[in-house]
Each structure stands twice: as structure tokens, then as C-alpha cells.
Amino acid sequence: MAGLRTGLMMAGLTALVAVVGLMLAGEAGAVAALVLAAALNLSVWWNSDRVVLSLHGAEEVDGRTAPELCAMVRELALRAGLPVPRLYLLPSDQPNAFATGRNPQHAALAVTRGLLRALPRPEVAGVIAHELAHVRNRDTLLMTVTATFAGAISLIANFALFFRTGDDRQNPLGVVGALAMMILAPLAAMIVQMAISRTREYEADRVGAEICGQPLWLAAALERIEGLSRQTGNVAAERHPATAHLFIINPLHAFAHDRLFATHPATPDRVAALRRMAAAAPHPATPGPWA
């Protein structure tokens, strides 16, 4: 089901790229856009994790360089029934984390140095479990696909702005239509991206709470990250805002409540859902050694 959903999303975004090319430069633009979309599909499938990690300056760690963190990830991956993902540290002081990779066998998990400094171990476990939930739900490829295509559509529109000629006969909408597409096409891609993000976060919270066995750990982590992220910027995320929806909490300095263009659901709503989950669980799972 997850594979079908991702395939449909890639097909839909490919069609959107082609329509943008058609509206901006006629048939030649549509062909060029389709070629770009095909290249993006291949690139995202094979290199999604490496591209995103490189954008954020990630450094891989292992049992020698980060023994406690790696042990926690191994234990939680075992609980989730997943292969142990590769583990990376991000240089940002902002507490945050994300997962990436095309499938559970090629997954990578990245946490910021700020997260490890600011959160107690149980809350770190809750964050790791949330990201492993994204891996288990196979969200990671879908998340990267939408980010890549949103950026590509914006790039096509910007190129059209600078490389247009006086001859608009190949453009069925003319100058006004082209300007509208430059605005509306990136907007449409971002709406798709944000809608996916908001839905998947609630589900990853639920599954992550089941993995770590303590919904309140994740609830406390979300509240702490939300508060601290407002005080600390994330330079790499600000430079590459199309990746913002990958993080557990929006890394950009934006309004933190449910709106059409918010990358995440409102943190209080997520926390409330986790607290209801904790209250409804008659027998919480046995916590791990990090409790």
C-alpha cells in the first residue's frame, strides 16, 4: 500500500511538472519538464538519503563514536522489527531529528547535537521511536519525493521568469498566465507536500509511542523541542526550506499552529493525542534501559 501511494504521488508530481512546463513554454517546455521529472525520479529513488544528509552537513557515527546513542537505536529498531538504520549527527544546535531513505533496508536516522544536549534520555528515545515509525510506515521516500519535486517546480518557474522571450505564441496562457503559473505551480506542490506532512506526523507519533512503550516520553520531547527550536535557528534548514517537513518539529521560525502552509500539525494537538493514548493504555509497555 505504501509503495502504491508513493508511486501515485510520483506520477502525480511528474504530471504537475509537465503541466508547468507546458504552460510556461508550450510543447517544448512540457518535453523538457518530463525529462527533468524522469531524472528526478531516478535520482530520488537511489540518492534521496545522501542528498538530504549532505544538505544538512550530516556526519555518520557508530558504536565507537556514539556508543550510547547507537545502543538505543539498536534496541528501538529491534522493538520496531526493523533493520538498524545508519545513524548521523547534524551540527545544528537546534534540537531536532529526521529520518530518510528509500526503504527500511536503506534508512538513515539523523539527530542534531542540540537534541542530545537538551533532552533527557527517555525523551531522546521517544524521538528516535518517532523517526523509526516513519521508516516502518515507509514515509521516508514519500517525504523526500515531495520535497524534491516542490523544489524542481519552483526552479522551473524561476528559470521561465529569467529566460522568457518576447514571443509567447508557444505559451497557451500568454504573459499573464505564465506569471500566474510561476506563482501557482510552486504553491500547488507545497500544498501537496504540507498535506502529506501533517497527516503522517500524527500516525508516526502513534506508532512511535507504541515502539518506545511510553507516549508521554514523546509528548514531553515534542514540547521541549518546540520551545527550544523557537530560540535556536537551524541554518541548513533555513537555507533548504523544502526539507523542513522531514523534521520531527518544524525547524523554521514560523507560526506553530495548524494552517494550510504549516509543515507540521500544531504541537499542542500532537501532545494532546499522545496524552489520550497514554491514558487509554491499561498496561504500558516495559520501558527500555534508557528510562
Catalytic residues: 131
Q: What distance in Å separates the CA atoms of residue 178 and residue 173, rounded to the nearest whole number?
A: 6
Instruction: Answer for the pair 140, 147: CB distance below 8 angstroms, yes or no.
Output: no
Instruction: Answer for the pair 36, 13: CB distance below 8 angstroms, yes or no.
Output: no
Instruction: Answer for the pair 246, 98: CB distance below 8 angstroms, yes or no.
Output: yes
**DSSP string computed for 167-229:** --TT-TTHHHHHHHHHHHHHHHHHHHHHHHHHHHHHHHHHHHHHHHS-HHHHHHHHHHHHHHH
Q: What distance in Å separates the CA atoms of residue 249 and residue 266, rounded to the nearest whole number?
A: 9
Cα distances from 276 to residues 64, 158, 195, 231, 270, in angstroms, run 39, 46, 24, 29, 10
